[in-house]
Chains A and B, each alone.
Chain A
Amino acid sequence: MGSGGMIVMDEDTCMPDVARYFLDFLTDESCGKCVPCREGMRQMLKLLTNITQGKGKEGDIELLEELAETAQEAALCALGKSSPNPFLSTLKYFRDEYEAHVKEKRCPALSCKELIAYYIDPAKCNACTTCGKKCPTGAIIGGKNLIHMIDQEKCTKCGTCFEVCPPKFRAVTKISGVPVPPPLPEEARTIVRESKQK
């Protein structure tokens, strides 16, 4: 990434967010003397932040590319010239991720908080009640033998429910770029347990 650092990446790593993270770090390293580096980074950081917050606009990727060229060609020192590298290298291999953020307001890595929603898959929820007890904002509507649901208005996307839902159910999911499915009708929410039917 041009800064001597190493980070571990997998499919949960959001590339535009990685670029934003590195650039944010570099804004403290810049001496601030020349325009392409100081002002270029200021604008690149704003654009990348907007993109990862779902506020990216058509043309933002191209504008970032222009700013990257200006820094590479006209910055005074090696730091400034290499400052667009995190953006350029992620764009080169993951342009589709950038476009998903801007055009579909979707984070393919399901990592950008503003672009995802937590959703409990009704087919998988076993009404174990774990998530409801752990949710810090009381956003989970549930109860004994009831399929749990998330009140999106109250949810702060802390991810706790996603962490605590037992692996054997894996009912809490993250979704992005699509509307949250409507809540189940009351009558469909009760889980009838076979053991108790006998």
Chain B
Amino acid sequence: MSDITFTIDGREVSATPGMTVLEAARAAGITIPTLCHHEKLEPYGGCRLCIVELEARGSTRLVVSCVYPVEKNLVVKTRSEKVDRIRKMILQLLLAHAPDAFDLQDLARQYGADRDRFEKEPSFCVHCGLCVRYCNEVKKKNAIGFVDRGIRKEISFIPQIAAKECWSCKECFPLCPTEALQAAYVLAKALAFPGDGAKG
């Protein structure tokens, strides 16, 4: 397959067709912040942190690099005043849920995001979907899912499946950028499969 060449931050990079802008940037050693992205999982496009600016015919537009496919002659900027401003706001929105998440704190310092910009929200979950997608795409168990929609959307273990699968797996746990998954698991275990309590 012939390579596609384009520029990121003024540097010429090459990629193979079908790659995303994020993959091409990483291959070239260029950093773009991400939260919901994971190499093993399908692109999701939920957190919008990986947003970048595209220049085409004199105008610019914003796209999320983890889902945007590379194209010949693209002109990508990974930072701009607008990109930084939006990333800062997204971080502040996430920090309302997970003020102590390490990855978020690092990025907050970099983008000048204030962890107290918004009142703290009761749930730690930032809805990155990593746990849900990992269980679905890699483990193929669907032991955890999202329930409800909009601002009421939350993660939830499916008790019948989780009671059988999770104790011996726990593979999605380290993916969670916050303490939400652990908390949800402890809660689900106590409520739905108390028999496991003695074991752990």
Contacts and interface: CB of A to CB of B under 8 A. Distances in A.
B151 A32 contact: yes
Contacts of B119: 46
Interface size class of chain A, counting residues whose CB lies under 8 Å from the partner chain? 20 to 34
Interface residues of B, number: 32
Interface in A4-43: 26-36, 38-43
A76 B151 contact: no
A88 to B, nearest CB: 16
B48 A34 contact: yes
A70 B89 contact: yes
Given A39-B93, A39-B94, A73-B86, A34 B149 contact: no
Contact of A32 (B48, B94, B146): B146
Contacts of B146: 32
A27 B151 contact: yes
Contact of A40 (B93, B129, B153): B93
Contacts of B86: 36, 69-70, 73-74
A51 interface: no
B94 A35 contact: yes
A125 to B, nearest CB: 44
Interface of A: 26-36, 38-43, 45-46, 63, 66-67, 69-70, 73-76
Interface of B: 44-49, 51, 62, 64, 82, 85-86, 89-90, 93-94, 96-97, 117-119, 121, 126-127, 129, 146, 148-153
10 contacts: A31-B150, A38-B150, A38-B153, A41-B151, A43-B118, A69-B85, A69-B86, A69-B89, A74-B51, A74-B62
